[in-house]
Amino acid sequence: MLGLDNATIGIVGVCLLIVFVVIGVRVFVAAALTGFLGLLALRNWDVAGAIAGTIPHSKAVTYPLSVLPLFILIGFLAFHAGLTSRLFEAARRWFGWVPGGLAVATVFAAAGFAAVSGASTATAAVFSRVAIPDMMRNAYDRRLTAGVIAAGGTLASLIPPSAILVVYAIIVEESVGRLLLAGFLPGIVSALIYAGLIIGMCRIRPGLGRPITGFTWRQRFQSLPGTLPIFLVIGVIFGALYTGAATPTEAGALGAMVVFCFYVIRAYRERALREMGGRLRMALMETAKLTVMIFTLIWGVFLFVRFLGFAGLPSVFADWVVTLDMPPIVIMICILLAYAVLGMFMDAIGMLVLTLPVVFPAVVALGYDPIWFGIIVVKMAEICLITPPIGLNCFVVAGVSRELRDSEGRSLAIPLQDVFRGIGPFFVADLLTVAVLLAFPGIVLWLPRTMG
């Protein structure tokens, strides 16, 4: 139509999309507009209009996508039911005695909450409210405080249920259940590396964060019943996925039901049905808002994906990558470095949904396992959540801290520059985690291969 071959039009479309994103156009608008214009250039108005008109409905009724609002609801219900503070208190009593104990407790509590949340920014926001006052009261370095919360929030991207893993599975048409299981062990490895880093830093520089002592074994065991709902939800979701007894959507519904039951029990015991009813409404509204945001992003991006498919750009790129005279691992490292750079300017989900249609066929052509690549690329998306200038989790921590006050009314605000400085060591820890997963892919693939 324009005198150009299809692949060239596809490349022009990708460049136009990048321009839209750089000048500040929202990702879903930029993707949808570029996709529509590209289809118009490749075909005609009727084809472009028909595809743009059918994608929102066809993607909204996709069964695997129905798991997203359920996973998001679990996290918001758990927060409004007060399960987060109980989980942090238990971690505080059990791990507070090590160097940097409160920071280590924050990491493990965030990992536990990630297993019922699925949203990194929500995890960072929740633990900013829960952990910052306690850590600042115990004279923890504010950069370490901010860094551990921003980094701990990223664990929700890997540990199931993970919204971003569901998005990856839908885009590349892989098993949602296997991907969710595959993220479990890498998430635990990442949390352990964070904890080891904190202990090492605080042992070398005790002023960063001193141990919290004084808890008896009786007090530690008394804190465990409050964590029961969290572990029950983890057991329900993980067990259902691992045994194949339920689909991911059914497992999400079971998990949401378990959290809701504990929510109602707490409201009844505390005789606060009216207050808890208001919190339930807030949880439902927050779930709806985040779900609509993700669905809208997916609709816009799938229009762009259809344009790329008509242009044939993914297959052209895959053929080009395969012919490169370099070992596959070198190409993979280059791809991951490109994600690291791109993530400095885009949010995690937007970055994945825009790049995977082109990159994924090339990765598969190189012989890499799609499940393994999904975990690696989501880990890279985690890194992007804490790197400037976008670093969404860092903005969340800085923003929430401005609302906090200590017992004497003094502000607990942590400047954004301190948050970005605080995540430096955790950035190095994330690179170490990626290296471990590259060197030992069995960490990712063992659970999915044993799945029932």
- CA–CA separation, 15 and 9 (whole Å): 10
Whole-Å CA distances, 69 to 65, 74, 162, 173:
8, 9, 11, 19
Q: pLDDT under 50 in the chain at which residues?
A: none
- Note the pLDDT of residue 191: 93
Provide the terminal-to-terminal Cα distance of the chain, rounded to the nearest Å: 51
Partnered with residue 24 across adjacent β-strands are none
- Note the pLDDT of residue 99: 92
In sequence order, the 6+-apart residues with CB closer than 8 A to the CB of 351 are 339, 342, 343, 381, 384
Q: Any idea of the CA torsion for 76, 78, 82, 83, to the nearest 10 degrees?
A: -150
In sequence order, the 6+-apart residues with CB closer than 8 A to the CB of 345 are 21, 22, 389, 390
Residue ranges of alpha helices (H) inside 43-141 are 45-60, 67-80, 83-95, 101-117, 120-137
Identify the DSSP state of 421: H
- CA–CA separation, 221 and 229 (whole Å): 16
Identify the DSSP state of 175: -
